[in-house]
């Protein structure tokens, strides 16, 4: 593979939530294929600064695929085309010389654009605040091994708990639904004995927070699962539905 490639970036630029945005094209010659996507954005920003232009604002922090801060919609795919990968772990060796890449923010009504590629994802926090926890105060816990948990359940709970809360599922969904995100937390706690006492209220409260925030409903298209960088299974939405039924009977 060639060590450098030439690219054209079409990036969404938007001053703030009140103003309209548009795509702006930037030529990026000589991009090293060892760079990560965000490092390429750093290089672009350094160029823009030296030319006296405003750099592109984007969210990012850990750059190792775990904090969930990065959030780019790259050529029509949340976090780009590589399966199970966040934007920060996407490397330029997966792009072709001469490729035109479009870069957009998450597009969903509950996630208003703050600037350029940065959106407001606080509605996801609101869903957790509505019940995504076990009500246990510090200091009141019994010995950790008093309550054995079958390994299978613990492993499945961990599969769900791997969610990084990036919001790719919402961005990928034609309904802008956050059901995969919501189901991951409901499923984790439903699988564990610690989650049982509040099981019913939890799902009802979290669902109403989800709907209040303006997220759409799930129509089982599966785009969320396909785009999730942590490959959270849509089967958690199936469990969510079962839990919802259970809470209503």
Partner 1 sequence: MFSVLNLYFFSMTTLNSKIPEGNLSEKWTKYRSTVKLVNPANKRKLEVIVVGSGLAGGSAAASLAELGYKVKCFCFQDSPRRAHSIAAQGGINAAKNYKNDGDSVYRLFYDTVKGGDYRAREANVHRLAEVSTQIIDQCVAQGVPFAREYGGLLDNRSFGGTQVERTFYARGQTGQQLLLGAYSALSRQIAHGQVTMYNRHEMLELVIIDGKARGIIARDLVTGELERHFGHAVVLASGGYGNVFFLSTNAMGSNVTANWKAHKKGAFFGNPCFTQIHPTCIPVSGDYQSKLTLMSESLRNDGRVWVPKKQGDLRRPEEIPDEERDYYLERRYPSFGNLVPRDVASRAAKMVCDEGKGVGPSALAVNLDFRDSIKRLGENVIAARYGNLFEMYEKITGENPYKTPMRIYPAVHYTMGGLWVDYELMTTVQGLYAIGECNFSDHGANRLGASALMQGLADGYFVLPYTIGSYLSGDIATKPISTDHASFKEAEDAARERITKFMNNKGTKSVDHFHKELGKIMWNYCGMARNEQGLTKAKKMIADLREEFWKEVKVPGTDKELNPELEKAGRVADFIELGELMVEDALHRRESCGGHFREESQTEEGEAKRDDANFSYVAGWEFTGVGQKANLHKEALVFEEVHPTQRSYK
In the complex with partner 1, which residue's Cβ is closer, 34 or 242? 34
Q: Which of residues 202-221 bind partner 1 (CB under 8 A)?
A: none
- Member of 6, 24, 27, 46 binding partner 1 (CB under 8 A): 46
CB 113 to partner 1: min, Å: 11
CA Rg value for the chain: 20
CB 209 to partner 1: min, Å: 9
- CB-count burial class (<10 Å; 0-12, 13-18, 19+) for 3: exposed
CB 221 to partner 1: min, Å: 26
**CA torsion sign, 101 to 68 to 118 to 129?**
positive
CB 240 to partner 1: min, Å: 16
- CB-count burial class (<10 Å; 0-12, 13-18, 19+) for 39: middle
Give how many residues touch partner 1 by CB under 8 A.
Answer: 79
Q: Which of residues 61-90 bind partner 1 (CB under 8 A)?
A: 61-69, 82, 85, 89
CB–CB of 114/17 below 8 Å? yes
Relative to beta strand 4-13, strand 100-104 is parallel
In the complex with partner 1, which residue's Cβ is closer, 9 or 157? 157
Q: Which of residues 98-157 bind partner 1 (CB under 8 A)?
A: 114-115, 118, 120-122, 124-125, 128-130, 132-145, 147-151, 154-155, 157
- CB-CB neighbours of 191 under 10 Å: 23
Q: Which of residues 181-200 bind partner 1 (CB under 8 A)?
A: 188-189, 192, 194-195
Q: Which of residues 149-168 bind partner 1 (CB under 8 A)?
A: 149-151, 154-155, 157-158, 161-162, 164-165
Nearest Cα to Cα of residue 133 among 185, 209, 204, 181: 185
CB 129 to partner 1: min, Å: 4
- Give the rounded distance of the alpha carbon of 156 from its chain centre: 20
In the complex with partner 1, which residue's Cβ is closer, 163 or 218? 163
CB 241 to partner 1: min, Å: 21
In 14-125, beta strands by DSSP E:
22-32, 73-74, 77-78, 100-104, 113-115, 118-119
- CB-CB neighbours of 50 under 10 Å: 8
- Member of 28, 57, 204, 247 binding partner 1 (CB under 8 A): 57
CB–CB of 168/228 below 8 Å? yes
Q: Which of residues 2-31 bind partner 1 (CB under 8 A)?
A: 15-16
43 scored as a contact of partner 1 (CB under 8 A):
yes
CB 203 to partner 1: min, Å: 15
Nearest Cα to Cα of residue 9 among 95, 102, 92: 102
In the complex with partner 1, which residue's Cβ is closer, 114 or 204? 114
């Amino acid at each position: 593979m060639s060590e450098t490639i030439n690219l054209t970036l079409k990036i969404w630029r938007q001053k703030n939530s009140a103003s309209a945005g548009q795509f702006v094209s930037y030529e990026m010659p000589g991009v090293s294929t060892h760079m990560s996507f965000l490092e390429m954005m750093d290089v672009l920003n350094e160029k823009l600064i030296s030319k006296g232009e405003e750099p592109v604002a984007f969210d990012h922090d850990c750059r190792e695929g775990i904090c969930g801060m990065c959030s780019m919609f790259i050529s029509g795919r949340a976090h780009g085309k590589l399966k199970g990968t966040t934007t920060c772990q996407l490397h330029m060796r997966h792009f072709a010389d001469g490729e035109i890449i479009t870069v957009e923010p998450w597009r969903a009504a509950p996630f208003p654009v703050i600037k350029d590629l940065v959106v407001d994802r606080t509605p996801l926090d609101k869903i957790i605040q509505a019940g995504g926890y076990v009500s246990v105060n510090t200091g009141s816990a019994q010995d950790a091994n008093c309550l054995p948990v079958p390994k299978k359940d613990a492993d499945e709970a961990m599969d769900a708990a791997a969610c990084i809360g990036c919001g790719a599922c919402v961005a990928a969904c034609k309904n802008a639904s956050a059901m995969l995100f919501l189901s991951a937390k409901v499923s984790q706690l439903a699988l564990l004995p610690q989650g049982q006492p509040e099981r019913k209220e939890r799902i009802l409260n979290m669902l109403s927070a989800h709907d209040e925030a303006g997220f759409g409903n799930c129509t089982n298209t599966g785009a969320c699962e396909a785009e999730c960088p942590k490959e959270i299974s849509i089967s958690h939405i199936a469990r969510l539905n079962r839990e919802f039924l259970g809470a209503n009977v």
